[in-house]
Amino acid sequence: MTGPTTSTVDDLERLRVQRRTVSVLIAGQIVSGLGVGAAVSMGALLVAAVTGSEAWSGMAATMNTLGAAVFAIPLALLARRRGRRISLTTGALIAALGALAITASAVVGSSFLLLVSMAVMGIGSALTFQARFAATDLATDATRGRDLSLVVWSTTIGAVIGPNLAEPSEALGLALGLPELSGGFVIAAAAQLLGALLYAIALRPDPLLLALGPHRVVAAGPGRRAAGGLTILRGNRAARSAVLAVGLSHAVMVALMGMTPIHLMGHGADLRIVGITISLHVAGMFGLSPVFGLLTDRIGGRAVVLGGQVMLVAALLLAALGAQSNAVVTLALVLLGLGWSAANVAGSTMLSGAVPTAQRPALQGTSDLLMNLAGATGGALAGLILAGIGFDGLALCLLMPVAVVVINQVAGARGL
């Protein structure tokens, strides 16, 4: 009897490592999701309280997404040089420092320090996005969407529980003598530290370094890596289409979700109602992602992206027409999360499949940079629009980026 061939052994080893990698990433996302969820429902409220103006409330989401954008390419570069384990561990440690700095900002009452600290904590979002790509490093074409979506889905557990920790975190903050609305960031810091420990110990062997194999080369520097991603986008229509879908869908989600706590509180809702609404929204963002992943593998990313845009349109119309009803706004936020999930899972899967493994870190980092810049822009404009024409006007304005995605996808399907 002859032994297994080298290729068979390699395939079996890659499968074993891929299963372990996905399991570790799922555990890490549950932990980090708890921290992000505990803070997301408090960010806009804390900024409004420290600055004394609701017009500044949108800067919470803006600075978080801007921070994620700033850190996207450095994290991708670090992953390319040292692997996903070092990159994800470093990102979680910096996110923990950002959460602690937010708490300190509230203590001293510094608006500037608060906004900068929220940008630093934004690296937590950047590493969450990188984790979904880490799930594709060793995946096959037939399972890429499924594996990516499982990691995205795992964020549901922590992120749904997190917003409902608003009241307990306030009790914790009070016990520690911290200012109002800052207790959730203590929980966020502890969660990120736990995630860093998990990645450092358990993400071995490193999936990206194993996938690159003999193609492991050190990048010349940040400028080269960023330019490489942009160069790939210029020459790859499929990658451009995927980035556009992910980026604009993210901008729509950040803009409406970031303003929802302010809108609800302005209409008499308490922290419990805000927490429930954000929890249901986050459940929509991540809860059905495995379904969208399987659909992407079976019917293609373009169809799933278009389905996501249909859900975004429904969400925005509901938010515009039912802005005075907390129940309708909550339903709109659920649909908003579902639409974002479909576009994010399908678009990210399309992006990873558009280029060879050696080019993926550069393209993924550039994609996350552009996505988070779009989100930061949406969050910044959302506060101004909310102050000017209200929540319903904001929802109607957000129909425009959705239309751009639909037109682009339809044109691509027709080869235009």
**What are the tens digits of pLDDT across the range 291-317?**
999 999 999 999 999 999 999 999 999
Q: Collapsing DSSP states into helix, strand and coil, what is residue 225?
A: helix
Q: Where are the alpha helices (DSSP H) in 179-300?
A: 183-202, 207-212, 222-235, 237-266, 271-286, 289-299
Nearby residues of 363 by Cβ (< 8 Å), 6 or more positions away: 228, 229, 232, 233, 239, 351, 354, 355
The answer to whether residues 145 and 9 touch, using CB atoms and an 8 Å cutoff, is: no
Closest to 222 in 3D by CA, of 69, 371, 365, 65: 365
The answer to whether residues 403 and 275 touch, using CB atoms and an 8 Å cutoff, is: no
pLDDT of residue 93: 95
Residues of the chain with pLDDT under 70: 1-9, 35-41, 54-55, 57-58, 61, 158-160, 162-167, 170, 214-227, 415-416
pLDDT of residue 218: 43
Give me the residue spans of the domains in the chain: 6-210+219-413
Return the sign of the alpha-carbon dihedral for residues 380, 381, 385, 391: negative
CB atoms within 10 A of CB 416: 8
The identity of residue 317, as a single letter, is: L
Closest to 258 in 3D by CA, of 394, 69, 161: 394
Determine the length of the chain: 416
The answer to whether residues 319 and 395 touch, using CB atoms and an 8 Å cutoff, is: yes
Token duo for residue 224: 């080269």
Domain covering 6-210+219-413: architecture: Up-down Bundle (1.20)
